[in-house]
Amino acid sequence: MTEVLMPESSSAPSSRREQLATTFEGYRSELDADNERRERLIILSRSTTQLSKKLIFHLHRGATLTSLEARSKNLQEARNKVAEIKINFGKIYDEIRGGINVESYWRWARQVSPGLEEYIEAISFLYYLEHASLIPLSEIQSELSDPTTGQPYVVVTPEDYVLGMSDLTGELMRYATNSLSTGDHEIPLAVCDFVRTVKTYFDGISPAMLYKLSKKQEETTRSLEKIEKVCYALRLRLVEYADRPEILRQMAKRALEDARDREGEGDKPA
């Protein structure tokens, strides 16, 4: 069709088309390579998420063990699982470094950060169980760096950290309620203090700074209310039945069930 319409300039477009084809084949290989790398990183990120979730379940199982020895064995096993996840981050690093330029981490941060957030949640839970405190960002970062060169595998941003901590409050709520059945009354009280502090700080972060946090803050508020209810019941019973741990346990359990009932049907099970 173009041949008929443009007899005077028919040679120009055909050479133009060939030239464009060469250029676009270049773009094609660039885009293809990017897409493949993106897929591989998503898979690695998902596997990090899975391993981190398993670690969290493992920690919950251990946290309710009564014997101190069994609990420290559980934490030891948890450290082995952390080592396994770190290998995954090493793979992510290799994958990113295979990119064209050094600044590639930021190019792929969006693919990597879901797994990273889940890992932060898991490692901060483990840290809490070990130290009853909050793991500093710098410690997470140094653990996710090459042990010899100090080169970070991934960059732990303050956003990743805050979002991971926000999820931690949910795990701690579960930990606090589960600990009722072991009869350790100090745990819910300490967790309550801790979660309240974290929540207060996060309330100060404006949605303009970190939009994703506002949704998570609602969840944190609910978790905190549950913990507070448990603590309230616990405190009353402690005053009343300090010398009879059997009854205390029973009552705490009932308070917990109460809290669960009031959650309503729409909520996820605690």
Partner 1 sequence: MTDSSDRIKSVDDALTSVIGLLETESTLKKTIRESLEPIDDLHRSALAELNKLHSSSYTSHAAICSRTLEIISTAGPHWNNVASLVPEGEYYRYQFALGPPMRNLTTLVALAHFLLHDSLISSTDTAIAMGLPTTLQLTAEDYLQGVIGMVNELPRLSINSVTAQNFTLPTKIASFVNDIFASYSLLNLRNDALRRKFDSLKYDLKRCEDVVYDLTLRGLTRPAV
Output 153 or 194, the one with its CB closest to partner 1.
194
Output 162 or 251, the one with its CB closest to partner 1.
162
Q: How far is the CB of 267 from partner 1 (least distance, A)?
A: 27
Q: How far is the CB of 195 from partner 1 (least distance, A)?
A: 10
Output 224 or 259, the one with its CB closest to partner 1.
224
CB atoms within 10 A of CB 136: 12
Output 20 or 70, the one with its CB closest to partner 1.
20
Whole-angstrom distance, CA of residue 140 vs CA of residue 120: 7
Q: How far is the CB of 67 from partner 1 (least distance, A)?
A: 23
- For 163, residues 6+ apart whose C-beta sits below 8 A from its C-beta are 117, 120, 210, 212, 213, 216
Q: Helices 158-182 and 11-63: crossing angle, nearest 10°?
A: 30
Q: How far is the CB of 190 from partner 1 (least distance, A)?
A: 7
Output 57 or 232, the one with its CB closest to partner 1.
232
Whole-angstrom distance, CA of residue 187 vs CA of residue 215: 27
Mark 58-71 as b/e (b = at least 16 C-beta within 10 Å). Answer: bbbebbeeeeeeee
Distances (CA, A) of 210 to 114, 145, 207: 15, 25, 5
Q: How far is the CB of 113 from partner 1 (least distance, A)?
A: 12
| Three-state DSSP state, 145 | strand
Binding site for partner 1 (CB under 8 A): 1-2, 5-6, 8, 12-13, 16-17, 20-21, 23-25, 27-28, 30-32, 35, 102-104, 106-107, 109, 132-137, 157-159, 161-162, 190, 193-194, 197-198, 201, 204-205, 208-210
